[in-house]
Amino acid sequence: MKKFDIEFDLNKKLILSVTGMKLAAPAETSPLMEKRVENDLLKIKKMFEKQKKQTLNTIQNVGFSCRLCGKCCKREEYDNSVYLLPEDISKIETLGIRKEIFLLPLLPDLYNRDYEVILHGNIFDENKLDELFNALAEQTDENGKIHTFGWMLQRKKDGDCIFLDSENKCLIYEQRPSLCQTYPFFMDEKGIFECECAGFDSSKKTNPELSTELLNSLLKRTLWDHEDYLLTSGVIQKMYPKKGVEDEKKEQSRTRFKRNFKDGFIRFAVYDGGGVYEVEVSLKNYNYP
């Protein structure tokens, strides 16, 4: 497979740039947790097998086909946040793309239109910065570091996916994340659901081969997602601060948070099934007083 030779971190179109990432505290998986994961995944497989025929019929009867419009990859059309599972990250890394280039800490509300003026650094807006801190205060420690859980796919400054090219094609299609593979379908314990998509009712029946592919991808994603949920929950229970910032340290937290932004970066503690990562994200084109 051809490997990428693209320095995305030098691409000025990126909304943010991860300039530092290290595993600060690795997780320790107990035999009890390993057994729970094994048992839970077995239950999911059995449940999925019982619903297999009904799920396949649902996919076939909606008459779905991809129109290759790229709308699901663009922020202007839908919420295009892509939550990444560990297996998704590993697949993209096989293309020779460093995870610092395509990952962001999972915090969609931070990267939305309301805070573009802060993230892009075009105008200094103290009120917006205070508003952002207030929204994140419960998960921000006294050093101004934001604590969050999991990862999402990096996006360009216009909000579109980092891997969407000028012709609305995916640069990593064969290794695209599991959420993208199953879109516009998702599953939970109640069954299968559809997201908004222009590809519905574009044919009388969904192609049988595509239906089977979607079904298999849904099972794989459901298993991966549940395993990641259990392992991340274990990390959170052991390592996540038991209490928020004490009242007397709230102003210290606010001051450090705002100072970080003014200095052109955001600091995170990201919790996932592998442990706790210290992440520094650089803000671009800053000229704060």
pLDDT digits (tens, 9 = 90+) for 229-267: 999 999 999 998 876 667 778 889 999 998 888 888 899
On whether the CB atoms of residues 92 and 102 are closer than 8 A, the answer is yes
Quick check: pTM over 0.85? yes
Residue 151 in domain: yes
285 within some domain: no
* Domain extent for 135: 8-240+251-279
2 lies in some domain? no
26 domain-assigned? yes
- Please give the mean pLDDT across all residues of the chain: 85
Asked, for residue 123, whether it belongs to a domain, the answer is yes
| pLDDT at residue 3, rounded to an integer | 46
Q: How many CB atoms lie within 10 A of CB 194?
A: 14
More confident: 11 or 18:
18
What confidence tens digit (pLDDT) does each residue in 22-31 have? 999 999 888 9
Statement: residue 188 has pLDDT above 80: no
pLDDT tens profile 148-162: 999 999 888 778 888
Which stretch of 92-96, 112-116, 252-256, 278-282 has the lowest confidence by average pLDDT? 112-116
Q: Check residue 249 and give its pLDDT.
A: 81
Task: Quote the number of domains for the chain.
Answer: 1
Residue 1 counted as domain residue = no
The whole-number pLDDT of residue 180 equals: 93
DSSP state of 4: P
What is the predicted pLDDT for the residue at 120?
65
Q: Which ranges of the chain would DSSP assign to H, the alpha helix?
A: 31-61, 86-93, 99-102, 116-120, 126-136, 178-182, 208-239, 250-262
Is 229 strand, coil or helix? helix
Q: Is residue 3 part of a domain?
A: no
Q: At residue 177, does pLDDT exceed 50?
A: yes
CA distance 206 to 58: 9
Kindly state whether residue 246 falls inside one of the protein's structural domains: no
